[in-house]
Amino acid sequence: MVLFYPFEMEQYLETLLGERDPLLREMEEQALKETIPVVTPMIGNFLNLLVHMGKAQAILEIGTAIGYSTIWLARAAETTGGHVTTIDLNKDRCARALIYFERAGLQNLITALEGDARKILPVLNSRFDFVFIDAAKGEYLEYLNLIYHLIAPGGLLVVDNVLFRGWVVPGSAITPKYDRMVNGLRRFLDDLCQNRDFITTVLPFGDGMSVSRRLNAKCDI
Ligand SMILES: C[S@@+](CC[C@H](N)C(=O)[O-])C[C@H]1O[C@@H](n2cnc3c(N)ncnc32)[C@H](O)[C@@H]1O
């Protein structure tokens, strides 16, 4: 069985989004030119919508790259009165992200931390009500174990690329070099979906996105 990543659908959906601001456009073009893997505009728009809907204030992102998804998140934080903390281990990308944050006028709403999320997460001592993971796919299970206790009751955990080109679906054609990553993503999804502290749905959207809500012991189902 071969699963096709629906680029044509993505392109069509993008036409429905309307005009984006010139800075986001510039970043999309730059990312494309340098093959920096940033979220699609549809996903950026969805993240922005989720932050608005959840009125999220404390927002955490793992995987900044040049700050494209961070800007979508921070634009929503402008309205919710929130703040975005974003982590990336790539020095050069972090430096470029800071310039984009300044240019977007969002520098006061974003704290960029440079380093390995697996080292930074254990020393973060704040609760987050929105967490977006978009870093090394083979490390997702590690992030998950480090992030669980940082998510506030009622908070959202959103994870990108969880279906990785559809290859996570058993029986699909995987290029052997991705075996490890795909198996890691399967274990990650099993773990997340079986965790009774969260209610999770996996959307076959973009490259696959999981959306989980941390149950509030007091008032949830
Ligand atoms: C897919 S890109 C992030 C794209 C960004 N979220 C966007 O859509 O604009 C993944 C990023 O994760 C970073 N990364 C990979 N492993 C990491 C780790 N262990 N800790 C922190 N960042 C990591 C990489 O340097 C890379 O810039």
Is 125 inside a domain boundary? yes
Mean pLDDT of 177-190: 92
Distances in whole angstroms, Cα of residue 32 to Cα of each of 6, 38, 45, 57, 131: 18, 9, 18, 31, 25
Reported as a pLDDT band with limits 50, 70 and 90, residue 169 is confident
Q: Is the pTM of this model over 0.85?
A: yes
Which residue in this structure is represented by tokens 């997460």? 121
Per 3-state DSSP, the chain is made up of helix, strand and coil in percentages (nearest 5) of 50, 20, 30
Least confidently predicted of 95-99, 101-105, 119-123, 206-210: 206-210
CATH number at 53 reads: 3.40.50.150
Report how far residue 99's alpha carbon sits from residue 107's, in angstroms, rounded to the nearest whole number.
Answer: 9
**Ligand 1: residue whose CA is nearest its atom 25:** 90
Number of structural domains (the chain) is: 1
Cα 133 to averaged position of ligand 1 atoms, centre (Å): 9
Residue 27 in tokens: 């970043």
Cα 190 to averaged position of ligand 1 atoms, centre (Å): 22
Is 42 inside a domain boundary? yes
Reported as a pLDDT band with limits 50, 70 and 90, residue 18 is confident
Which are the contacts of 25, defined by CB distance < 8 A and separation ≥ 6?
none
Is the predicted pLDDT of residue 7 greater than 60, yes or no?
yes
Amino acid at 185: L
Is 117 inside a domain boundary? yes
Cα 88 to averaged position of ligand 1 atoms, centre (Å): 5
Is the predicted pLDDT of residue 218 greater than 70, yes or no?
no
**C-alpha closest to that of 58 among 143, 156, 145:** 156
Maximum distance among all Cα pairs of the chain, rounded to whole angstroms = 49
Tens-digit pLDDT profile for residues 142-166 = 999 999 989 999 999 999 999 998 8
Ligand 1 atom with the smallest distance to the CA of 36 is 2
Domain coverage including residue 43: 7-214
∠105-106-108 over CA atoms, to 5°?
Answer: 115
**Mutate-to-test residue for ligand 1 from 26, 34, 64, 110, highest number of ligand atoms within 8 A of CB:** 64
Ligand 1 atom with the smallest distance to the CA of 27 is 9
Is 91 inside a domain boundary? yes
**Ligand 1: residue whose CA is nearest its atom 8:** 38
Is 163 inside a domain boundary? yes
Is the predicted pLDDT of residue 2 greater than 60, yes or no?
no
Is 221 inside a domain boundary? no
Q: Is 68:99 a contact under the CB 8 Å cutoff?
A: no
Is 98 inside a domain boundary? yes
Please list every protein residue whose CB sits less than 6 Å from any atom of ligand 1: 37-39, 63, 65, 68-69, 87-90, 93, 116-118, 134-136, 139
Tens-digit pLDDT profile for residues 187-215 = 999 999 999 999 999 998 888 999 999 99
Report how far residue 67's alpha carbon sits from residue 77's, in angstroms, rounded to the nearest whole number.
Answer: 14
Please list the alpha-helical segments (H only) found in 34-132: 41-53, 68-80, 91-103, 117-120
Cα 220 to averaged position of ligand 1 atoms, centre (Å): 33
Mean pLDDT of 61-87: 98
Distances in whole angstroms, Cα of residue 89 to Cα of each of 37, 64, 147, 170, 189: 15, 9, 17, 32, 24
Mean pLDDT of all residues belonging to the chain: 92
Is 2 inside a domain boundary? no
